Structure 1
């Protein structure tokens, strides 16, 4: 039976705190410097110097600014690395993140409408409907969602479709768009409840999509259908592509077969046995496009796959929980960079599985692995290209300790050719187990 906190208990707690030597010093330090500033362990920097035995030259980092497009930046950056080397483009070259942002927003609106229609017979307080309405759409996404956009719409250079105020600082766009989507959800559910025909609902949804398109066009700019692309390469040779479509541009300048890239996760929870594939219900953006599909493997295998791709000279898209045990200024992702447990003499230990099961952790950010330090055959630290600009870390690059990766890294994307035969067979033949919409492996970076 629950009991309220008594005044006598509070008095005892207070006396206990005041009687412990050193608490007054700790209080002054934390009040003046904050928890992380007081708990910072400089040894983490000494032990994780940014020197790597495998180190890809990937150029300058990008900056997603006040938006949640890290998954797009990471994906387009992995492609940019190849383009830069193949076509000898300048360090400043970027693929347009705003272009894929436009089409992701448009497709997510349609995806939301379709899910609202599918769940129209469920009560508003059902968990699925409540889940949909909590966040009709957001900036975040996953690798397979980016593939779905690129396969349908291609890519363009940033010079052709540059950043806008709303793409660089997306809060106002998201507030307005989510208001519009919830408004439309009322209409769609009412139409279905009133017995409207499939054709009537389709007509209304088409009107809604027209309004969404207009809103995005006026907010982000009209996306190009065809464009000219001119540039000088690093040897100052002039090049000019005329009247090219985004899909043609992708095929000529990127040319990746995106079916060859596989999402690998490490989720050590009992509901997800290793060496099996998983999908997530109601997770996606393009209706009829690539579905989100993960292959769950043990951490040793996870890291071996990343190292294989880096050793072959290709960077690796990856997703992490970019909250615990990081220092933005030093560019450190290191277990023990902050010693809060020692500072307050409290036990904060949880296993990776426990953090997932109890809502303490999930994937929140996507970046690019561009290097790794191998000592005696084992990885000790990893080089990370972030998308927060050059003012954090080492000109935008972070160093991730191998121990941090074990605990807070959840996803990488690698080519099928690096999978061992047994895992390749699982990925290509197994029907994915469908997880609930709110499963942590459905989190959007």
Structure 2
């Protein structure tokens, strides 16, 4: 049976809406206003404040801004990393170069993709099959996962932002990404042709080397070529002059950063409540990565209560937390409030939104996925020790929230946070033991891999 929208039925709908004074008022308001602003719950806004029972000793300065790019995962990691670094070297403010890691990720990601296309061709995957079609839809993008940034830092190190500053294409990445995507699709066809005509490993390698030389040229022109060595000069809080270098970015990380923040000591936990994905197991996503022979992207699936508990313990010990979430749901973007009750949709539209599906259902039905990475810097605990609200360092500049910081309720955390990264010293042994398992492989299009496929510039929210 099918329902046709007959003129009689549409007329019935029209008469119903026009007879409702609340709907007419909402329609008039929506004529000149953002529907989300129209639904804003005033009582929730005035009850919001940035006062917390537990907060990291100091927060990073300046507030960072990823601009029109999807580099949130890089920004969030470097924002976490800089706090102990600033403390160690008694700095007023500091930024690591986000563009430096972005350069190497673009290069490595393109190489990873082309090698996956070779692998898919050799195992008989059809170019119009679901897997290759999915991968070709978005061959390279700005998003990423925690294990990917570990790959980058342990191979290439880090450097101060002043040693490799932002370029136009770092802050506005769409044009560069589109050029790279076009070339990767072209290169995929070429590689498949070489293999299908009986080309041996040497022929494929020769093709890849030439293709990657062209990719390197494109990325270098757009982002610049990172210096092989640099010298870091700075004043500390006491206005004393210091000079470090010349040294390589990897030496800088190993000798000056790793002693206060070792990315390999951090572990990534997710909460995926779908019935088919049991807690206490390790998962990975097919064809998800950014580096050939690099670290595998592994998810340790745990209940959301475990993630919240470990975040609290980390913040109480003075360590902030990298996390991944679905940023756009129940979010008052300009005010920086993440609260499931911040919008009263029912008062405006006569129906509620985001309440008819559970967290698991939203993942299953395509209503939810990770879209953004940020940093927890504070939490409020009740007298019983239950987390109530969280302070969030974002990377959208100072114009949103409280000079760039958001506030999140624990109810919102339970519904829309999917992933955290904490130091392994906070994690129980039985949870750490999950990392020794052979991970269950989820399909390439599984929503748990979505953070690595997202481009979420703040202008969209």
How far is the alpha carbon of 1:299 from its aligned partner? 1.3
The aligned counterpart of 1:205 is 208
Higher deviation after alignment, 43-52 or 189-198: 43-52
Shift of 1:119: 1.3
Counterpart in the other structure of 2:459: none
Tell me the CA shift for residue 183 of structure 1: 1.1
Give SS of 1:45's match.
Answer: helix
Q: Deviations over 1:79-106 (max 9, x none)?
A: 1111111101232x10000000000000
**2:414 pairs with 392, 399, 406, which one?**
406
- Quote the offset at 1:399 in angstroms: 0.4
SS of the equivalent of 2:126 reads coil
Q: Partner residue of 2:82?
A: 80
Q: In the alignment, does 2:119 pair up with 1:118?
A: yes
**What is the CA distance between 1:41 and its match in structure 2?**
0.3
TM-score, with length taken from structure 1: 0.97
Secondary structure of 1:242 counterpart:
strand
Q: Distance in 2 between matches of 1:426 and 1:181?
A: 36
C-alpha distance in 2 between matches for 1:347 and 1:327: 16
Please report how far the alpha carbon of residue 43 of structure 1 lies from its aligned counterpart in structure 2 after TM superposition: 1.6
| Cα deviation, residue 69, structure 1 | 0.3
Which segment is superposed worse, 301-310 or 30-39? 30-39
Q: 1:264 aligns to what?
A: 269
Write out per-residue CA displacement over residues 338-360 of structure 1, whole angstroms, 9 at most, x where no aligned residue.
11133212143221111111111
Could you list the structure 1 runs, at least 4 aligned residues long, displaced by more than 6 angstroms after superposition: none
Distance, in Å, in 2 between the alignment partners of 1:369 and 1:67 is 21
Within the alignment, does 1:275 sit opposite 2:280 as a pair?
A: yes
**Higher alpha-carbon deviation: 60-69 or 19-28:** 19-28
Determine the structure 1 residue equivalent to 2:229: 226
Q: Give 3-state SS (helix, strand or coil) of 1:366's partner.
A: strand
Give structure 2 stretches of 5+ with no counterpart.
Answer: 455-461
Would the aligned equivalents of 1:35 and 1:340 in 2 still touch at CA under 8 Å?
Answer: no
Task: Say if 2:323 is the partner of 1:318.
Answer: yes
Q: In the TM superposition, what is the alpha-carbon distance from 1:122 to its structure 2 partner?
A: 2.0
CA distances 1:42-73 after superposition (whole Å, capped 9, x unpaired) = 12223331111112221331011111100000
The root-mean-square deviation of aligned C-alpha atoms, in Å, is 1.2
Residue matched to 2:444? 437
Matches within 5 A, 1:40-79: 40-56=40-56, 57-60=58-61, 61-79=63-81
Do the aligned partners of 1:262 and 1:294 also contact (CA within 8 Å) in 2? no
SS in 2 for 1:119: helix
Shift of 1:20: 2.9
What's the CA shift string for 1:125-150, capped at 9, x where partnerless? Answer: 10110011000000010111000111
Q: What's the counterpart of residue 426 of structure 1?
A: 434
* Equivalent residues of 1:41, 1:336 under 8 A apart: yes
Deviations 1:203-245 (A, max 9, x none): 0100111111111112111112111111111111111112201
1:288 maps to 293
Partner of 1:132, secondary structure, is helix
8 Å contact from structure 2 (residues 60, 79) kept in 1? no
- Work out the CA distance in 2 between the residues paired with 1:181 and 1:308: 44
Q: CA deviation at 1:21?
A: 3.9
Q: Deviations over 1:278-329 (max 9, x none)?
A: 1111111011111111111111111001111111111100011011111122
Q: Which of 188, 193, 201 does residue 191 from structure 2 map onto?
A: 188
Name the CA distance, whole Å, in 2 between partners of 1:34 and 1:104.
36
Which residue among 354, 362, 365 is the counterpart of 2:369?
362
**CA-to-partner distance for each residue in 1:139-192, whole Å, 9 max, x for gaps?**
010111000111111111101111101101101110111111111111111111
Could you tell me which runs of 5 or more consecutive residues in structure 1 were left unpaired when the two chains were aligned.
Answer: none
Aligned partners of 2:90 and 2:430: how far apart in 1? 38
**SS of the residue 2:245 aligns to:** strand
Cα pair 1:48 1:401 within 8 Å, conserved: no
C-alpha distance in 1 between matches for 2:421 and 2:339: 22
After TM superposition, the score normalised by the length of structure 2 is: 0.94
Shift of 1:434: 1.1
